[in-house]
Homo-oligomer: A and B are copies of this chain.
Amino acid sequence: VALLFYSGTDRNGTFEASFRSALKKVAPSLEVRTWPELGDANDIRFAALWLPPENLFSKLPNLTHIFALSAGVDKLLQASDLPQDVPIYRLLDGGMATPMSEYVLLGVLQAQRQLQVLAEAQQQKLWKRDTDEPQAKDWHVGILGAGVLAQAAAQRLVANGYPVSTWSRSHKNTALNTLVCLLPLTPNTANILNSRLFDQLPTGASLINAARGEHCVDDDLIAALDRGQISSALLDVFREEPLPAEHLFWSHPKITITPHIAAPTSADVSARYVAEGVANALAGTQPAGLVNRHSGY
């Protein structure tokens, strides 16, 4: 019995090294192989994956459990050779709740305390005091999403004095200062950050997207920023990653770009989750985090 590990963004192998080392501690007898060195592929029953290559699944005839090394499984579900009958599990926390709630809090603090406006003033060497500085208690944050990460972000914001509401297409809160997208990416949520939604927000609202690039219609966001409907955007995710050098987001004065680092997966926590999942599987019980393929999360 073996597990296949693959991470599509672990360029220097540091995540794999940490993951292997942590897994060795909690599941010393589990053999771990790394794509593309499969050995006898018939042994491989488990896979722990982030952004797997296209032809991976067709080489694994005896796979019984797929562990996504991520909270979102949108890319995984799109794999053309994904076996239809193998259950997929996703990281419900993976050490991501803390960094994600930090990231969202940081973005909200920057918006509330008008750091973008002050940074532009600094470039002009302008001492710009706004006597009407908004207070946290009056800075309304809407969160798109209701999963583990969205809940953690909401709790962190509330603990720091912000009124927080869950925002949905049916339950809109029009008195909103910052909108945070933490949705899973599904056919229902793709392109949700578009002109129509931006126009429903109060003029000057700010945006944080830490979910998936495909949630956002890039041209609509640039247009909303340029006409002042959206005052600033903090973006961690993009349709193509790394974000191509020619993309307009890079140099837009109202956009802050971070390279998909809002909630990095912890190798230690991932290893524990995979080890527990494998232990459950071997004992014949269901691992945590089973994905509903129909809903997409």
Residues of A at under 8 Å CB distance from B? Answer: 9-10, 12, 14-15, 98-99, 102-103, 105-106, 109-110, 112-113, 115, 118-119, 121-122, 125, 127-133, 135-136, 156, 159-161, 241-243, 245, 250-251, 256-261, 264
Closest CB-CB distance, A159 to chain B, in whole Å?
Answer: 7
**CB within 8 A of A133: which of B10, B130, B261?**
B261
Instruction: Kindly report how many copies of this chain are found in the complex they form together.
Output: 2
With beta carbons under 8 angstroms apart, the residue of B118, B128, B136 that contacts A102 is: B136
* Contact A127/B241 with A98-B136, A99-B135 known, Cβ cut-off 8 Å: yes
Residue of B nearest to A238 (CB): B127
Contacts A98-B135, A129-B9; A122 near B161 (Cβ below 8 A): no
Q: With A14-B131, A131-B14, A242-B127 in contact, do A122 and B261 touch (Cβ < 8 Å)?
A: no
A156 to B161, CA, bound (A): 11
Q: Which residues of B are found within 8 Å of A261, using beta-carbon distances?
A: 113, 118, 129-130, 133
Cα A105 to Cα B102 in complex, Å, equals 10
Q: How far is the CB of A19 from chain B (nearest CB, A)?
A: 12
Chain B nearest CB: distance from A110 CB in Å?
7
> Are B109 and A15 in contact, CB atoms less than 8 angstroms apart?
no
Write the chain B residue with the least CB distance to A13.
B131
What residues on B are CB-neighbors of A112 within 8 Å?
A: 102
A81 to B219, CA, bound (A): 62
Smallest beta-carbon distance A149→chain B, Å: 16
Greatest chain B CB density within 10 A among A112, A128, A136, A261 is at: A261
Chain B residues, CB < 8 A from A102: 109, 112-113, 136, 160-161
CB proximity of A42 to chain B, nearest CB, Å:
33
| Bound-complex Cα distance A185 to B14 (A) | 47
